[in-house]
Amino acid sequence: MIFNINSEKGSRLKRSLYIPTIKSLLVSALILTGIHASVQAQDTIRYTKPSWYFGAAAGANLIFFRGSTQHLNSTFTAPAAFHNGFGVGLFAAPLIEYHRPGTLLGFMIQAGYDGRKGKFDEIKTPCNCPADLKTDLSYITIEPSIRIAPFKSSFYIYAGPRVAFNLGKSFTYSQKINPDYPEQIVEPDIKGDFGFLNNTLLSIQIGAGYDIALSSEYKKYQWALSPFIAYHPYFGQNPRSIDTWNVTTLRLGVALKMGRGHRIEEPVKAQIPMVAKIVVIEPEIKFSVNAPKNIPVNRTVREIFPLRNYIFFNLGSTEIPDRYVLLRKDQVADFKEDQLDKLKPRNLSGRSERQMVVYYNVINILGDRMGKNPKATIRLVGSSENGPKDGKKMAESVKVYLVNVFNIDPSRIVIEGREKPKIPSEQPGGNKELALLREGDQRVSIESGTPEMLMEFQTGPNAPLRPVEFIDTQEAPIDSYVNFNADGANEAFSSWSLEITDKTGRMQNFGPYTQDRVTIPGKSILGTQSEGDFNVTMIGQTKSGTMIKKDTTIHLVLWTPPVPEETTRFSIIYEFNNSEAINIYEKYLTEIIIPRIPKDGKVIISGYTDIIGEDAHNMQLSIDRANDVKRIIEKGLMKVERSDVKLEIHGFGEDQSLSPFENKFPEERFYNRTVIIDIIPNS
């Protein structure tokens, strides 16, 4: 029931209306309390009281003036001295507070505005004229305190220093006429600023407060209201340096603060058989399959492959690893960076073999480019966990190879040793997967200021090297993959899998999976068939052990274009755990990549990560990287007024069945931190 009570200003409610209203409010409060209790009873997750609080405090300063003041500044002295006074000032400040629940000690700090204005008691001047003096003192105050909860409860006391910096210093002096001579002319008020002011005050404060919880233990973020009182004694609070005027303050206020609690893991209780029937609510899962109409078997790709300007070394060694291709002097004349098929390393992995051949020739590509550009100079910066001395030896081994094999003038190569690279993988305070991170930091970085050596539109020592371009054959292109979407699976299922059955009854099993989206090459499903209809069953197991099944059908067709189709592939590479390094590529994406997108073409943008870090984090990181590239391409297309291009993004995280490279060596992990851009013509 809702009561609407209207009364005119100044009127009083009749007793007959007032009492039922109060009763109704009490009944409503009891009902709301019951509802709140029932809601709380439904919550199952409890949280500790926060240790850290952040908020704001506000209150009133009750200010007592004692002592004397008369010579107000260099131009005005009152006819008589003022002694006692009183005032009320505003206090407002943000606060930070730390105290572990149920402990004795903590700390708090407040820093903000502190008003100390007031009015002195009226005095009589020699002419028997009443006189008043008003002050408008204010300060910026910093008040750190030790917080003590003597009973380890919500009651606390605190004490600490107060450092105040003067902000306002004005005064108003008023003198009335002698009442014995009423015909006198009233002197105008004199306004000015106090002179001889102490700009900085150092004093102390002591206070007490009480925390009133505004949130229940079932809330992660908890609010508290803390009424408090504080006493600031007079010593250290002399506003001026030339008189005995001092200030004593009693502060009354309240603080509103918020903190985050930590989840309380409840002990597992023994299950008691229930007589009543328990209804299990099946989680809502939306299962769908997105299959391409035609599945290209393979495709010719013109790949513009980026060159990492790093040479990675084995931990504990200063020699160039044998996985890099090292030439003899008589092989240099026949070396061509776009014809590297015959120059393979000895222990090459099977995946993306063509690209790794390119990368493991990076020292030879560097030597070849320096030979073709006699004015080019480089700096080799070796970084070793054993210190700058070992790092310099690593850089020296690369320099010796370039000088002895490619006949590069030693004066064109500067070397340097460091303990950590300028962009390290291992971050301070990190404690996970340190071995892999340290492998990535054991490297020689190639720096150059010669434009002919560098990627388009890049300058400076940290610019990437110019990419290598070659023709390759791409098996199972990205647009031939079938996407299986189980929205909500990550939350509802402990795991889920796929059963795919063709018309003959042949069944294939894929999984188990934990993520919401899974991608499988269409050719893996078709096998030796050129075309087929398939029944797809998603089988999910909930965290309570219940099995859930959902079915759909798909039709797949292998396809070979009547005319050989060539696509273009670009790659953007990132530093460790970074999704925002794209700014160095923005001009490259806009002025090199966009003009190569044909009319009505499609651009597939795929993000990847290495295996370092949590699966869920890496999945989101790969999506962020792909969206980063998409944003720049969309912006560039709008600038040239193109709306014919279809953009498609994928994030594959660290999925080792889909990542471009393996993760055995740091080179492969560094190249898996990438976004691949496939430009596909309209077929």
Looking at the structure, do residues 200 and 331 belong to the same domain, yes or no?
Answer: no
Q: Cis ω on the peptide bond leading into residue 461 (within 30° of 0)? A: no
Burial of 366 (0-12, 13-18, 19+ CB in 10 A): buried
Q: For residue 215, which of 50, 380, 422 has the smallest C-alpha distance?
A: 50
Q: What is the structure's pLDDT at 25?
A: 42
Q: What is the structure's pLDDT at 443?
A: 94
Domain assignment present for 360: yes
d(CA 64, CA 234) in angstroms, rounded, equals: 9
Q: Last residue of a domain, which of 463, 488, 504?
A: 463
Strand-pairing partners, residue 165, are 140, 200
Looking at the structure, do residues 539 and 647 belong to the same domain, yes or no?
Answer: no
Could you tell me the residue range of the domain that residue 576 belongs to?
569-680
Domain assignment present for 34: no
CB of 159 closer than 8 Å to CB of 204: yes
Alpha-carbon distance values, 369 to 332, 397, 409 (Å): 12, 19, 13
d(CA 584, CA 589) in angstroms, rounded, equals: 10
Tokens of 666: 């740091």
Looking at the structure, do residues 601 and 659 belong to the same domain, yes or no?
Answer: yes
- Cβ neighbours of residue 306 closer than 8 Å, sequence gap 6 or more: 455, 464, 467, 571, 572, 573
Looking at the structure, do residues 621 and 547 belong to the same domain, yes or no?
Answer: no
Domain assignment present for 21: no
Burial of 487 (0-12, 13-18, 19+ CB in 10 A): middle
- Segments of the chain with pLDDT less than 70: 1-44, 265-283, 341-354, 428-431, 460-461, 561-564, 576-583, 683
3-state helix, strand, coil in the chain (%, to 5): 20, 40, 40
Strand-pairing partners, residue 482, are 520
Looking at the structure, do residues 527 and 625 belong to the same domain, yes or no?
Answer: no
CB of 61 closer than 8 Å to CB of 90: yes
Domain assignment present for 650: yes
Rounded to 5°, the CA angle 5-11-16 comes to 55
pTM of the model: 0.53
Looking at the structure, do residues 554 and 587 belong to the same domain, yes or no?
Answer: no
As a whole number of angstroms, the longest Cα–Cα distance in the chain is: 122
Looking at the structure, do residues 659 and 514 belong to the same domain, yes or no?
Answer: no
Q: For residue 325, which of 337, 333, 315, 317 has the smallest C-alpha distance?
A: 337
- Cβ neighbours of residue 94 closer than 8 Å, sequence gap 6 or more: 54, 55, 56, 57, 110, 111, 112
Q: For residue 607, which of 678, 662, 668, 512 has the smallest C-alpha distance?
A: 678
Domain assignment present for 438: yes
DSSP conformation class of 464: P
Strand-pairing partners, residue 64, are 86, 248
Looking at the structure, do residues 401 and 522 belong to the same domain, yes or no?
Answer: no
Angle of helix 362-372 versus helix 388-406 axis, rounded to 10: 60
d(CA 33, CA 670) in angstroms, rounded, equals: 58
Domain assignment present for 406: yes
What are the pLDDT digits (tens) for 416-458?
Answer: 999 998 888 877 666 677 888 888 899 999 998 888 888 877 7
Residue 37, SS3 per DSSP: helix
Q: Buried b vs exposed e over 148-161: b needs ≥16 C-beta within 10 Å? A: ebeeeeeebebebe
Burial of 218 (0-12, 13-18, 19+ CB in 10 A): middle
Looking at the structure, do residues 358 and 421 belong to the same domain, yes or no?
Answer: yes
Looking at the structure, do residues 361 and 449 belong to the same domain, yes or no?
Answer: yes
DSSP conformation class of 154: S
CB of 313 closer than 8 Å to CB of 442: yes
Tokens of 68: 């004397």
What is the full DSSP assignment across 633-663? HHHHHHHTT----EEEEEE-TT-TTTSSS-S
Q: Are strands 443-448 and 295-296 parallel, antiparallel or unpaired?
A: unpaired
Looking at the structure, do residues 449 and 490 belong to the same domain, yes or no?
Answer: no
Q: Last residue of a domain, which of 559, 592, 618?
A: 559
Q: For residue 606, which of 629, 578, 580 has the smallest C-alpha distance?
A: 629
Looking at the structure, do residues 362 and 447 belong to the same domain, yes or no?
Answer: yes
d(CA 592, CA 468) in angstroms, rounded, equals: 14
d(CA 540, CA 497) in angstroms, rounded, equals: 7
Domain assignment present for 303: no
Domain assignment present for 9: no
Q: What is the structure's pLDDT at 683?
A: 67
User: What CATH number does the domain containing 241 carry?
Assistant: 2.40.160
User: How many CB atoms are located within 10 Å of the residue 302 CB?
Assistant: 15
Residue 178 CB-half CA count within 13 A: 7
DSSP conformation class of 240: B
DSSP conformation class of 153: S
Q: In total, how many domains does the chain have?
A: 4
Q: For residue 608, which of 655, 540, 556, 657 has the smallest C-alpha distance?
A: 655
User: What CATH number does the domain containing 634 carry?
Assistant: 3.30.1330.60
